[in-house]
Amino acid sequence: VVRNGVFGGRIADTVSRFGGEVIPIDLEWGTVVTPEEIRKAFSRNRCRALFLVHAETSTGAHQQHMREIGQIVHENGALFLVDTVTSLGGTEVKIDEWGIDAAYSGTQKCLSVPPGLSPITLNEKAMQKLREKKARSWYFDLGMIEEYWNEGHQRKYHHTAPINMIYALHEGLRLVFQEGLDARFQRHRRNAAALQAGLETLGFTYLVKKQNERLPMLHAVYLPDGLEEGKLRQNIRARYNIEIGGGLGEFSGKAWRIGLMGHSSTKDKVGRLLNSIGEELKKHAIIDDATIGFQTAQAIYQNSER
């Protein structure tokens, strides 16, 4: 299990609760794992699976080299398991091309559907593993659920489905399809670039040091010196009706997590946020001109439209 943030740590906890032996690959938060580190881990241990988070929501780190990592995992006869909660619908997730055997996501991130469902995917190899022995959890017994949804099986009742959520997911996916994946990913990248430029102009710095490892949909940033993060977040919420996430885990009370996900990833929202932050920073005399963040973002949009 790659632990480079809250959610990698949570996976390790979950695996050990079920009696699995966890071999952690511990990294500095805000970084991602390299293929070399994966190779090293396999050379030292006999691992049956590699589990990693594609988009670490606690730090904004965007796992790279997924295809190469998938190859290393399979060369070692292991399963490649991936958390795609924050990435699905906002950036490329290539299950088969990357050799992912099983992945899960959530509906409430870049699909812009209410929370309450977890889309999952498993290939035949992963399903065979599941069928080998009875699951400890009745609720999570995918072998039983397979008897409901798989072709060639009688639809055997497992649970009452949350039908309203499924209608919501259908509508969310329809909108994704209508926009097109490429256009959607480009929109996320464009708004991310504008927000990043604006935030940096305002004196914010990113937890993830390498620019190419930053997520377009989750911006985890340290504030300029001399500001109390909780107070500032509360003010922005009260005065401008914008909710910003606080830091998770070791970044609690130290950093912000700004979401630009799905339908919320718009030029208008980037502008409103940067102006709101600008107004507050001006009050604290951190900057003289409240609009400098917004202006930088505008320039990025103009460049990208040329």
- What residues make contact with a second copy under the rule CB under 8 A? 10, 13-14, 17-19, 106, 108, 114-116, 134-140, 157, 160-165, 168, 248
Nearer to a second copy, 14 or 234 (CB): 14
Nearer to a second copy, 162 or 226 (CB): 162
| Shortest separation between residue 160's beta carbon and a second copy, angstroms | 5
| Shortest separation between residue 243's beta carbon and a second copy, angstroms | 13
DSSP designation for 56: E
Euclidean distance between CA atoms 291 and 56, whole angstroms:
31
Nearer to a second copy, 70 or 262 (CB): 262
Structure tokens at 43: 């050379």
Nearer to a second copy, 190 or 233 (CB): 233
In 2-34, which positions are buried (b, 16+ CB within 10 angstroms) versus exposed (e)? bbbbbbbbbbbeebeeeeeeeeebebebbbbbe
| Shortest separation between residue 139's beta carbon and a second copy, angstroms | 8
In contact, 65 and 34? CB cutoff 8 Å? yes
| Shortest separation between residue 159's beta carbon and a second copy, angstroms | 9
The burial class, CB within 10 Å (0-12 / 13-18 / 19+), for 86 is buried
Euclidean distance between CA atoms 279 and 240, whole angstroms:
10
Nearer to a second copy, 29 or 42 (CB): 29
| Shortest separation between residue 136's beta carbon and a second copy, angstroms | 5
